[in-house]
């Protein structure tokens, strides 16, 4: 088992004084800083009507509604407005379980069963004493009748006696409407768990865990996402070190499988369970350490959203969105970024 020096994907990262000055003490659900708070880490987005909704890791200083999951909206995928957080503070049952933590991590937004499901993680720095939780709402529009995030409690947890880490959840829809959850960070890599489609939770704590990706110790793989395209399932994984600003080494790799449970292999046939994986994204154009990506599919084409660190501006974390394209041989590639790096010289 790894020591506490291992850095999980959502661990606290260097935070610039500029951003810190914009944070204000949270006093309620609608409390947000002015100007709009810049910290965007571990994004997950979805469209309802003509509006895009983006969910991301909470303020690492805990100043924006106690570090709760942040919500932003956009109509063009290029400019985003911070509109609040899911809860007004971290649910008390989480801090009762884990102790004081500054923020919640790595949300994943999806829609099934007539409501929106938001999976997210909570943990302490460098630890696998972690849990994945769930909140649901009938709508994403804060102004709509019935808007309310209901806390559904724990989905899955890991402890120091386990060889995996229950963070970075992402929902997968499989054949026949089946629901699965991919998660994991460092320790023994990326795991997959079947869910009950009615509850959005596993049927039992003894549910089988499938191992999808693993590398040599310290196994720096996390931020996984699975999407179905054509005849195959594609596993996207963030490999390397995150949360270190321009010192981050994150990159996104991918493999594919005919079965949702694997094995996932790269174009050379190397299994991701043995360190394989094709690079999809690496550092470029001042965007350092791209990772924690998710895929949005739709009639207008597939999109890949992720965070990166701005090499030109203190290593601040930002959102980027690209088209996700597919080669004739069925492998994904990314299009150009939708927006330039904010700090880059003009």
Q: How far is the C-alpha of 97 from the C-alpha of 84, rounded, in Å?
A: 25
For each of the domains in the chain, give its residue range(s) and CATH number, in order of start: 23-337 (2.115.10.20)
| Token pair for 170 | 């992402």
**What's the pLDDT score for residue 206?**
75
Q: Are 160 and 129 in contact (CB under 8 A)?
A: yes
222 is catalytic: yes
The model carries a pTM of 0.91
**What's the pLDDT score for residue 33?**
53
The stretch 304-333 carries a mean pLDDT of: 96
**Three-class secondary structure of residue 92 per DSSP:** helix
Annotated catalytic residue, options 59, 219, 222, 310: 222
Q: Which of these, 8, 3, 5, 4, lies nearest to 291 by C-alpha position?
A: 8
**What's the pLDDT score for residue 31?**
52
User: 338 vs 4, 208, 248, 322, CA distance in Å?
Assistant: 37, 40, 22, 6
The stretch 186-208 carries a mean pLDDT of: 92
Instruction: Indicate the DSSP class of residue 284.
Output: B
68 is catalytic: no
Q: How far is the C-alpha of 253 from the C-alpha of 290, rounded, in Å?
A: 11
Q: Are 124 and 99 in contact (CB under 8 A)?
A: yes
**Whole-number average pLDDT of the chain:** 89
**What's the pLDDT score for residue 204?**
81
| pLDDT at residue 168 greater than cutoff 70 | yes
- Please report, to the nearest 10 degrees, the dihedral formed by the alpha carbons of residues 297, 298, 300, 302 taken in order: 10
Q: How far is the C-alpha of 148 from the C-alpha of 161, rounded, in Å?
A: 36
Annotated catalytic residue, options 42, 68, 108, 310: 42
Exposed/middle/buried for 341, CB within 10 Å: 0-12, 13-18, 19+? Answer: buried
Over residues 110-144, the pLDDT tens digits come to 999 999 999 999 998 789 999 999 999 999 999 99
Q: Could you give the count of Cα atoms lying within 13 Å of 198 in the half-sphere of its Cβ?
A: 1
User: 186 vs 10, 156, 189, 241, CA distance in Å?
Assistant: 12, 17, 5, 10
């Amino acid at each position: 088992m790894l020591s506490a020096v291992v850095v999980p994907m959502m661990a606290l990262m260097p935070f610039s004084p500029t951003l810190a000055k914009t944070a204000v003490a949270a006093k309620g659900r609608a409390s947000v800083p002015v100007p709009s708070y810049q910290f965007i880490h571990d994004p997950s987005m979805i469209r309802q009507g003509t509006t895009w909704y983006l969910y991301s890791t909470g303020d690492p200083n805990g100043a924006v509604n106690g570090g709760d999951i942040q919500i932003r909206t956009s109509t063009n995928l290029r400019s985003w407005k911070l509109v609040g957080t899911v809860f007004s503070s971290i649910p008390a049952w989480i801090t009762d379980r884990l102790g004081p933590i500054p923020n919640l991590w790595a949300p994943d937004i999806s829609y099934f069963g007539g409501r929106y499901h938001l999976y997210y993680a909570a943990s302490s720095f460098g630890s696998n004493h972690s849990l994945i939780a769930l909140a649901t709402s009938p709508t994403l529009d804060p102004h709509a009748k019935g808007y309310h995030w209901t806390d559904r409690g724990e989905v899955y947890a890991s402890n120091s006696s386990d060889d995996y880490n229950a963070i970075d959840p992402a929902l997968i829809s499989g054949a026949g409407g089946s629901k699965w959850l991919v998660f994991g960070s460092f320790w023994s890599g990326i795991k997959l768990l079947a869910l009950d489609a009615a509850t959005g939770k596993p049927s039992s704590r003894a549910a089988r865990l499938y191992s999808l990706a693993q590398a040599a110790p310290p196994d720096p793989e996390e931020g996984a996402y699975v999407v179905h395209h054509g005849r195959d399932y594609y596993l996207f994984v963030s490999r390397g070190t995150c949360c270190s600003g321009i010192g981050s080494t994150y990159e996104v790799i991918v493999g594919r499988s005919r079965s949702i449970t694997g094995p996932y292999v790269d174009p050379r046939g190397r299994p991701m369970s043995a360190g394989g994986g094709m690079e999809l994204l690496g550092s470029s154009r001042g965007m350092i350490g791209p990772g924690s990506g998710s895929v949005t599919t739709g009639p207008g084409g597939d999109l890949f959203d992720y965070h990166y660190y701005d090499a030109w501006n203190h290593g601040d974390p930002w959102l980027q969105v690209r088209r996700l394209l597919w080669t004739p041989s069925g492998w994904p590639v990314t299009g150009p970024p939708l927006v330039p790096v904010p700090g880059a010289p003009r």
